[in-house]
């Protein structure tokens, strides 16, 4: 991820500007729709991020795309802000970070959970309850399958990683034995 601090700043700023779940869904859909256009059209992408194109011209191109695509006012203001500050290249990462920023605004802690095989609904529920109990807050899980894990789980909360996989346990054991 490029420039994590800026990505987080913009994602949190957009999340703070949203009032409720319905608005989050609507603005998020508008921003994701624009992102699809941005990523699928190389000429547009180059026109919006090129330092060789006049800033007013870039903003005019963006305004034209937003008006033709029917993007809502809040999403349009956000995308225009990114364009004005020459941060449009961060948009894919901002879109990825937005759900976590929204959850944080709602007081929900997000954990990324990697497992060798997909967790069953019962396992997900048990893990969610256990993490919520230890956090004292609601928890949202972002599940990912990682066939590289031999067994167990790897949990990530922000920059903190809890590795309770077989591979992680073996690495910890090897490290302890190496110190003795």
Give the CATH number for residue 69: 1.10.520
Residues 14 and 99 in one domain: yes
pLDDT of residue 40: 94
Residues 58 and 133 in one domain: no
Looking at the structure of the chain, the number of domains it has is 2
Residues 38 and 89 in one domain: yes
The mean pLDDT value for 34-50 works out to 91
The mean pLDDT value for 4-13 works out to 92
Residues 90 and 129 in one domain: no
For residue 3, which phi and psi values (nearest 5 degrees)? 45, 70
Helix, strand, or coil (residue 152): strand
Domain boundary among 103, 129, 149: 103
pLDDT of residue 2: 59
**Which residues are bridge partners to 152 per DSSP?**
165
Q: Which domain holds residue 37?
A: 4-103
pTM of this structure: 0.73
Residues 95 and 112 in one domain: no
Residues 13 and 82 in one domain: yes
Percent of the chain with pLDDT over 90: 53
Residues 83 and 164 in one domain: no
Residues 71 and 13 in one domain: yes
Domain boundary among 42, 72, 103: 103
Reported as type and span, the H/E element at residue 92 is helix 91-105
State the pLDDT confidence band at 90, using cuts at 50, 70 and 90.
Answer: very high
The mean pLDDT value for 70-94 works out to 94
Residues 158 and 116 in one domain: yes
Tell me which of 151 and 103 has the higher pLDDT.
103
Torsion of CA 45, 75, 78, 61, to 10 degrees: 40
Q: Please provide the size of the chain in residues.
A: 180
Domain boundary among 49, 80, 103: 103
Residues 25 and 91 in one domain: yes
Residues 31 and 113 in one domain: no
Residues 121 and 63 in one domain: no
Burial of 44 per CB tally in 10 Å (0-12, 13-18, 19+): middle
Q: Of 23-32, 98-107, 155-164, give the range with the top mean pLDDT.
A: 23-32
Dihedral class, residue 41 (left if φ above 0, else alpha if ψ from -120 to 50, else beta):
beta
Examine the pLDDT at 165 and tell me if it is beyond 70: no
């Amino acid at each position: 991820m490029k420039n994590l601090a800026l990505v987080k700043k913009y994602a949190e700023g957009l999340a703070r500007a949203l009032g409720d779940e319905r608005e989050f869904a609507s603005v998020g859909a508008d921003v994701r729709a624009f992102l699809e256009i941005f990523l699928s059209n190389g000429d547009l992408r180059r026109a919006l991020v090129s330092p060789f194109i006049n800033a007013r011209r870039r903003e005019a191109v963006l305004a034209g795309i937003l008006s033709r695509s029917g993007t809502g006012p809040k999403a349009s203001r956000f995308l225009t802000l990114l364009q004005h500050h020459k941060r449009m290249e961060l948009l894919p990462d901002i879109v990825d970070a937005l759900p976590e920023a929204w959850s944080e605004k709602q007081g929900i802690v997000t954990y990324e959970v990697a497992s060798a095989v997909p967790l069953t609904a019962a396992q997900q529920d048990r893990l969610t309850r256990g993490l919520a109990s230890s956090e004292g807050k609601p928890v949202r899980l972002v599940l990912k399958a990682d066939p590289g894990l031999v067994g167990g789980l790897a949990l990530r909360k922000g920059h903190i990683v809890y590795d309770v996989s077989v591979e992680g346990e073996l690495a910890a054991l090897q490290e302890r034995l190496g110190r003795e």
